[in-house]
Amino acid sequence: MTRMPAPIVSPTPAAPAPDGPDKITVKGLEFYYGDFHALTDVTVPIKSTAVTAFIGPSGCGKSTFIRCFNRMNDLIPGTRLEGKVTLDGQDIYAPGVDPVDLRRRVGMIFQQPNPFPMSIYDNVAFGPRLHGITKKSELDDLVRDSLDRANLWKEVKDILGRGGLTLSGGQQQRLCIARVLAVQPEVLLMDEPCSAIDPTSVQKIEDLMAVLKESITIIIVTHNMQQAARVSDFTAFFLQEVAGEAAVLVEYDRTTNVFTSPRDKRTEDYITGRFG
Amino acid sequence: MSKRIANQIALALLWTSALTTVAVLFAVILYVVVNGIGQLSLGFIFTWPRGVNAEGGVWPTIVSTLYVTALAMVIVTPIAILAAVYLAEYAVQGRLVSIIRCAADTLASVPSIVMGLFGLALFVEAAHIGFSMLSAALALTFLMLPIVMRTTEEAIRAVPKYIRWGSYGLGATKWQTVRRTVLPAAMPRILTGLILATGRAVGETAVVIYTMGQAINMPVSPLDSGRPMTVHLYLLAMEGINLPAAYGTALLLMIMILGFNLSARYLLRRTRKV
Amino acid sequence: MAEASAQNDENHKKAAHGLRLVSRSTHLKEAGLRNLFLLCAFVAVLGVALIFLFVGWRGWSIFSTYGVGAFLGGAEWDPIDGIYGILPLIYGSLVVMGGALALGTPLAVGTAIFLSEIASPRVRSIVRPAVELLAGIPSVIFGFFGLLILRPFIASTSGGLGFGAATAWIILAIMIVPTIATLTEDALGSIQPGIREASYAMGATTWQTVYKVLVPAAKIGIIDAIILGMGRAIGETMAVLMVVGNAPVFPDSVTDPIATLTTQIVIDMPYATGDHRTALFGMAIILFIVSMGLVAAVRLISRLQSAMEANR
Amino acid sequence: MLVLPSRSRRNGLRELSGRRALGLSAVTLTVLVSLAFAAVGCSSSGASSAEIIVTGSTTILPIAEIAAEDFTDQHPGTRVLVSGVGSSAGIESVTRGSSDIGTSSRDLKPAEEELGLIDTPIAIDSIAVIVHPSNPVDALTSEQVRQIFSGEITNWSEVGGEDREIGLVNRDEASGTREAFHKIVMGDSKFDRSAAVLPGTGQVRSVVANAEIAVGYISLGFATSDVKVLAIDGVVPTPETVRSGEYPIQRTLHFFTDGEPTGLALEYIDFILSEEVQEGVVRDAGFLPIPREGD
């Protein structure tokens, strides 16, 4: 019932074409927490097999926005979304769409590394088991493969039975990445994945992203502009101009353009450190 | 200067109240241990009471106590855990939830003798179950329910929300998330709550005295009656003829309860360490 | 919660083919589980309703046949002659509870303050488990202790029999310490640490900080604790039963036998029939209503408090 | 630790919290609800031939019950069902034929005399009035005892003792001893309700043994040297004065049968009257053995 689709490995070159295919498109998105209007009129494409960074000052709704792509916001009572979000051209908010299955295809990494309180092996095998894979050999392969892709295999191959929480913060985050990779997602959402871990581990995760983006579409939320500049191909800048009002998408472009010649004054102010 | 003296006096009083509390605990334990230890023997534990004044052992009362406690826990555990899952994971704040919480609080505060009379009226008489393990266990269930519900809900709420996100992010359904990540993560604390509730059930008297019956009997089926250790102790103490057996029963009861409490503490501490 | 569901075929057609739809079986399973959990949670409500129904059913007629005034206000309890005035029992319950609170509250609040403000971690690691273990000791063991140790002691000091409110006060005071102390400690623990530091920084002694800053700040929590201790005291049965002497009268002194609602129920139940039995269930109704009232009081206080905070 | 070490362990817990919990809760909910509202019958099946039913006095219940256990141990395959429902109900039950033996702690009322029941006295319950050993009072009249327990006399000086208040110790109303004491001593007077009510003989004894002002009553068989037993109407209760009927506070415990006892009922009654039971169970319960023929 829940057979895995083959991972999408597209033959795109390392440097993405500026006009590469859109993996995700967002049109006229409005987002509400109860009475609070959080985001308004967001329209943005997410290019396939590239890294797109969302930047902006805290409270600008970028974390809210990234959670729209796998419908994590559904879990918060009282939230409401208008507009259209499509994955491969299909509306993910269409009636009847299973958000649970969507979340398997659109994986997510959180700010706080969140390994489950179980062994490293079980952490990685968690997703595949959810989706019906029970054969030991198949699971073993998936676990090794995923840990390897997350650049963690060498460090943990002898301690797979140990608790996931015994690892260091950076290792935990890579374990979480491995855990997501094990369900072979097409899109990887990363919500400030490096803000709670040490610099060496940040480096490792950034290296990892460079490799992963060859096969997976990555969206990263970061408050660290240097990081956005280093890892992303495209950048979207969000801003809540007046406290209590909805945030807007100020500018979206190739990362180099955003950082070298922003079209909007507000973007320029932000990246040159005037506020935020 | 006087400010300092006032402080010293106040501190001394606070120390005194704390030490009094500890001293009372040790006095009660010591009293029961000193008087009961001579009575304890395998013979006392494993033989039947004999004669008009219950000489001999207390074995059927131990079995009755364990029987009714186990039965009550078997009934209450799934209900309370799933109820807590509902309150902690599924419920949306609203009228329904506040009714449930209010009911749980009320249930928790019902005096145990009222619960006993309720059990007598409903299970023993109206439902014709009679004085039995089952009647007593069902009455105990309502006593234990709010306790286990609360500790379980707290345990579930203490599981970080990140853990849940991680599971949802992998495409787990709500129930898969609860069952495979939240409950296992909360399990040590849930077990602690269950053990404490078990201790409570073992020590309960007023609920079981008019639901289980008082005749000494070895229960086999849940419809059998019996006499739990607490009621045996009460009857022995008030009859006052065979006090050694009363001391022995009190000590056994105390050992069981302390055992439950200490193992719950141990479990909790082991959980906190990691 | 906005998780969409496959309700009809039209929705199926409208959804894009690549995205998996919510399968009917998954949806039904999740919804079924959710309802099952709700049902479990509702057992608590069911419990309260059943208690009210069955205790009420058995006890209600005493109010109608015997009369509310005669039952609640009658000064004589003499079931052999069909006289069911429970005023002496209500009086007994109140006297026993009041004295126990008067003795137990300072002890409990003192212990809580000690634990939260004074004790070193080492001392705390001994005292706190002791308080928790005290909570676990069955009431019948407290009663046993009271009957065989405390009662003779009171008897020899007062020259009486040793049964009476005074003995019950001491035993009950000990028994409510864990309830009040734990909740008070929680209340003290939830005060922001900054308040403490501010007070110490102004040169206040520990005691001044405690009674001028912390106790007022934790006032509501402490009142809640005392109310719940009250509930415990008024509902306690076995321990009280073994030391009060069970005389349903207005005694001349605190060392003369007295009876409470709870103890009279246990004493009379074995042989009570007819109206007498109904009267015992009527007493259970009173106890149930009182305990519900105390819970309501706690809820009301916390609601008032949050309303006050919202206005601030 | 928060991490559950091995996979098998985790699976175990998951099992418990998951599927099994689900099943259990469904089952128990059903059980709970159905038990609460539907009546489950658990009535016993018809009596076999090797079975007798003994119904009646709660005072006699302990003797009849313990003796029944020993009796059935000695006579495998037989059953003696004993229940305590009160003397009147016992007499009625044996008259109607629903019991083989009716037990009673009182004599037959005139109306019951005509039913033609056969009386077998099985023990004597004699009640001693007890005080603290240091109490100078040694004897009381029945009338004084009545006045003391009804609250008309409240000071020991009124009956020749020291000038101290009297501390009354009474039994609970479910007690057969209280019932007998009430009937024999109190007559139409009521007990003083401010007396301490204790639901056990031993407690009455130990309270009286420790309080100089106390007075109480217990079955004579339970009186020990801890307490002083008072002479009533000038008669000190001893087995002799009880048997001779001189000591006033006593009653005889009866087994009633409808016609001469036969079969198992006869064997059981003979067992009760045997020395083994009379000197064992009957004395343990605080009663005096019935005088044996030829004594």
- Comparing CB atoms, the residue among D1, D2, D7 nearest residue A122 is D7
- Dihedral sign from CA coordinates of D160, D161, D166, D168: negative
Distance CA(D67)–CA(D116), nearest Å, equals: 26
Tokens of D79: 């059953």
- Lowest pLDDT segment from A137-151, A240-254, B127-141, D11-25: D11-25
- Comparing CB atoms, the residue among B162, B171, B274 nearest residue A110 is B162
- Which of A174, A73, A191, A192 has its CA nearest to residue A115? A174
Segment A185-213 shows an average pLDDT of: 89
Mean of per-residue pLDDT scores for chain B = 90
Q: Which residues contact D198 (CB under 8 A, 6 or more apart)?
A: B238, C245, C246, D169, D170, D171, D172, D204, D207
* Contacting residues of A for B171, CB less than 8 Å apart: 100-105, 127, 130-131, 183
CB contact under 8 A, C36 and D25: yes
For chain A positions 85-124, those within 8 Å of chain B (CB to CB) are: 100-105, 107-110, 112, 114-118
In a shared domain, residues B3 and B117: no
Number of domains in chain B: 2
The pLDDT tens digits of the residues spanning C20-73 come to: 777 788 888 888 999 999 999 999 999 999 999 999 999 999 999 999 999 999
Domain ranges across chain D: 7-21+125-244, 22-123+253-284
Phi, psi of C221 (to 5 degrees): -60, -40
For the beta carbon of residue B137, count every other beta carbon within 10 angstroms: 28
The pLDDT of residue C148 is above 70: yes
The pLDDT tens digits of the residues spanning B147-196 come to: 999 999 999 999 988 889 899 988 888 899 999 999 999 998 999 899 98
The pLDDT of residue A8 is above 70: no
Among 2.40.30.10, 2.40.30.20, 1.20.120.1200, 1.10.3720.10, name the CATH number for the domain at C68-311: 1.10.3720.10
* Contacting residues of B for C147, CB less than 8 Å apart: 237-238
In a shared domain, residues B106 and B233: yes
- Which of A64, B113, D14, D259 has its CA nearest to residue C287? B113
- Comparing CB atoms, the residue among B92, B160, B170 nearest residue A104 is B170
The ipTM, to two decimals, is 0.79
Q: What is the pLDDT of residue A77?
A: 80
Is B104:B146 a contact under the CB 8 Å cutoff?
yes
In a shared domain, residues B1 and B50: no
- Comparing CB atoms, the residue among C78, C155, C256 nearest residue D210 is C155
Q: What is the pLDDT of residue B272?
A: 63
Distance CA(B73)–CA(B76), nearest Å, equals: 5
How wide is the angle at C-alpha B189 spanned by C-alphas B187 and B192, nearest 5°?
A: 110
Q: What is the pLDDT of residue C243?
A: 94
Q: What is the pLDDT of residue D284?
A: 84
Domain ranges across chain C: 2-59, 68-311
* Contacting residues of A for C22, CB less than 8 Å apart: 96-98, 100
The pLDDT of residue A90 is above 50: yes
Give all strands (DSSP E) within chain D, no chain letters: 51-56, 79-84, 101-104, 117-131, 139-140, 167-171, 196-198, 214-219, 228-229, 231-232, 250-258, 288-289
pLDDT bracket for residue D56 (50, 70, 90):
confident
Test the B interface: residue of C30, C128, C137 with most B CBs within 10 Å: C137
Q: Which residues contact C128 (CB under 8 A, 6 or more apart)?
A: C115
The pLDDT of residue D24 is above 50: no
CB contact under 8 A, C5 and A96: yes
Position with higher pLDDT, B70 vs D81: B70
Distance CA(C163)–CA(D208), nearest Å, equals: 12
CB contact under 8 A, A179 and B173: no
| Percent of chain C predicted with pLDDT > 90 | 64
Q: What is the pLDDT of residue C114?
A: 94
pLDDT bracket for residue C15 (50, 70, 90):
very low
pLDDT bracket for residue D65 (50, 70, 90):
confident
Test the C interface: residue of B61, B99, B205, B262 with most C CBs within 10 Å: B205
Is D233:D216 a contact under the CB 8 Å cutoff?
no
Position with higher pLDDT, D177 vs C144: C144
- Comparing CB atoms, the residue among D2, D39, D204 nearest residue B274 is D2
State the CATH architecture for D22-123+253-284.
3-Layer(aba) Sandwich (3.40)
In a shared domain, residues B25 and B77: no
The pLDDT tens digits of the residues spanning A101-158 come to: 888 899 999 988 889 888 999 999 999 998 888 899 999 999 999 999 998 999 998 9
- Comparing CB atoms, the residue among D14, D63, D201 nearest residue B240 is D201
Q: What is the pLDDT of residue B1?
A: 58
Q: β-strand A22-33 against A36-47: which pairing, if any?
A: antiparallel
| Percent of chain D predicted with pLDDT > 70 | 82
Q: What is the pLDDT of residue D131?
A: 95
Domain ranges across chain A: 22-271
Q: What is the pLDDT of residue C225?
A: 94
* Contacting residues of D for C85, CB less than 8 Å apart: none
Its domain, for residue B15, covers 1-36
Residue B56, strand partner residues: B49
Segment C270-297 shows an average pLDDT of: 92
CB contact under 8 A, A176 and B172: no
The pLDDT tens digits of the residues spanning B221-255 come to: 999 888 999 999 998 888 887 888 999 999 999 99
In a shared domain, residues B28 and B150: no
Residue D53, strand partner residues: D81
CB contact under 8 A, A87 and C18: yes
Distance CA(B70)–CA(B68), nearest Å, equals: 5
How far off is chain B from C187, nearest CA to CA, in Å? 17
Residue A26, strand partner residues: A44, A85
In a shared domain, residues B8 and B79: no
How far off is chain D from C270, nearest CA to CA, in Å? 7
Among 3.90.1200.10, 3.40.50.300, 3.40.50.10420, 3.10.400.10, name the CATH number for the domain at A22-271: 3.40.50.300
Q: What is the pLDDT of residue D77?
A: 86
The Cα-based distances of C9 to B12, B263, C3 in angstroms read 77, 55, 17
Distance CA(D126)–CA(D218), nearest Å, equals: 8
pLDDT bracket for residue C286 (50, 70, 90):
very high
- pTM for the model stands at 0.82
Among 3.30.930.10, 3.40.710.10, 1.10.357.10, 3.40.190.10, name the CATH number for the domain at D7-21+125-244: 3.40.190.10
The residue type of B108 is: A
C vs D, Cβ pairs < 8 A, gives 75
- Lowest pLDDT segment from A1-10, B70-79, C99-108, D201-210: A1-10
- Long-range CB contacts for residues C91-94, cutoff 8 Å, separation at least 24: C91/C250, C92/C165, C92/C244, C92/C248, C92/C258, C92/C259, C92/C260, C92/C261, C92/C263, C93/C234, C93/C260, C93/C261, C93/C262
Q: Is A103 helix (H, G, I), strand (E, B) or coil?
A: helix
Q: What is the pLDDT of residue A60?
A: 82
CB contact under 8 A, C40 and D29: yes
The pLDDT of residue D28 is above 50: no
Burial degree of D185 (CB within 10 A; 0-12, 13-18, 19+): buried
